[in-house]
Amino acid sequence: MNKQSEKMSFNATWSMAVGGMVGGGIFSVLGVIVNTAGQWAWLSFIIAGLIALISAHSYSQLSIKYHESGGAFTFLNEINHKGIAGSLSWVLILGYVLTVSVYAFTFGHYVAHVFGWGSWFPRVLAFSIIAILTLVNLRGVGDASRVEIITVWGKLFVLLGLSVFGIIQWNPEQLTAGIEAKPWYSAIIGAATIFMAYEGFQLLSYDYDDIKEPDKTLPKATISAVIAVIFIYVLVAIGATMLVGADTLIQQEEVALSIAGKQALGMAGLILVTIAAAFSTGSAINATLFSTGRLMESVAKKKDLPHLLAKENQSNIPYYAILTIAGLAAILATIGSLGALVDAASLIFLITFGTVNVIAYLQKVKYRFICLIGAVGCLIAILLSSYQQFQDRPIPLLVILTLILLAIVGRPYLLRKMAD
């Protein structure tokens, strides 16, 4: 078999992008967004999706321009902004740590909900799934693209089926059941706070060398994947609300789709959604651990992280990097709240995607004016997200801003101290 035939086809690439986004996105954020935007939750997904769509264009065009893997870190190095690249890589790694913690938190709550055990059990499950998948990664076992295709279509079938079942029972009053109606601009604030639901497509920029005819496949697969996910999220937001009402989704935000599944098909629906959530979040944790481990290894080789993080084991896996990510994520999943983790991760990715949109505009990629719109959209979303977090959760916001400031301002000093 030649090397070209081993590379990812359009179908595999598209499935990887969709799987990366849906992997934990909708299972994690549905209750959070209904709480913020109320009856406008569906519009929040569209607004955030449009920013993600523009960002996907910027990522794919820059990957084509430089013909190499690496994402934002590589793009900044290519335009000789190595200091900014190093700082952004720290911020981005923090974002992936938060993402893994959200996925693990979601996994723990969905699985524990079926058993109905104490409040401690979801945290134990969250810690356990990170530990198990860390061991899997250290052994060098990754998800095959063929398996990803099957699992992606499986969870899409469950989500679309649930959505259609809910929409058939159309009742607009369910959109505001048990809650006060929200003003239309709540959709904009909501979009800013759940942006991590679209995190995942950019992982393809790390896989440029593994994609068949990447200059053709990458933009088509990435753009079409984001459009498909927008469509899915809107349907799920409306369908699930029709099934159980807005108040139930808010009260049970950690397991919102399980409640909707049970309402639709009884215990069978609950089990079906739980299985889909478990496989989705588990797959997303596994893929994110692997990709972020490789990113940390690459950054460490550029001397922007301690060289220890570039060390590989006998399976050629950067084991210190993966253990670091897993350890931090496990702590956050054990002590954090869903809303705080989602807000923090969304803020991180808005900063990263905004930076990539600016680079794409300055590098005069195809349709560069769209990239400028994306950059402005990210900036507005960052301000709105920060304001909303300041109102609702000021301490977690202060912590995340301190860490970002440390990555930007304190990074050179810390690297010098570690070198000594």
Paired strand residues for 211: 8
Confidence of residue 72 (pLDDT cuts 50, 70, 90): confident
* pTM, to two decimals: 0.88
Residues 228, 270: Cα–Cα separation, whole Å:
25
Q: Over the stretch 217-256, which tens digit does the pLDDT of each residue have?
A: 999 999 999 999 999 999 999 999 999 999 999 999 889 9
Cα–Cα distance measured from residue 168 to residue 367, given in angstroms and rounded to the nearest whole number: 40
Confidence bin at 143 (pLDDT 50/70/90): very low
The model's confidence at residue 408, banded by pLDDT at 50, 70 and 90, is: confident
CB 129 within 8 A of CB 108: yes
What the chain holds in terms of domains, given with CATH numbers, is: 3-419 (1.20.1740.10)
pLDDT per residue as tens digits for the range 258-281: 999 999 889 999 999 999 898 888
For residue 337, what pLDDT band results from cuts at 50, 70 and 90?
confident
Tell me the three state secondary structure of residue 393. Answer: coil
Structure confidence by residue, pLDDT tens digits, 37-54: 999 999 999 999 999 999
What count of Cα atoms within 13 Å lies in the side-chain half-sphere of residue 204? 42
CA 383 – CA 331 distance, rounded (Å): 28
At 366-383, the pLDDT tens digits run: 899 999 999 999 999 999
CA distances to 16, 69, 377 from 63, in Å:
17, 7, 22
Q: What is the pLDDT of residue 144?
A: 47
Task: Indicate the average pLDDT of the chain.
Answer: 87
Q: Which residue has better confidence, 302 or 64?
A: 64
Six token digits for residue 237: 């937001």
The mean pLDDT value for 311-320 works out to 85
Band of residue 308 on the pLDDT scale cut at 50, 70, 90: confident
Query: Which pLDDT value is given to residue 20?
Result: 81
In this prediction, residues 126-145 reach a mean pLDDT of 78
Q: What pLDDT digit, counting tens, does each position of 178-209 carry?
A: 999 999 999 999 998 888 899 888 888 877 87
Closest CA to 342 of 228, 253, 244: 253
CA dist 366 and 264 (Å) reads: 45
Is residue 125 very low, low, confident or very high in pLDDT (cuts 50, 70, 90)? Answer: very high
Mean pLDDT for 121-143 is 83
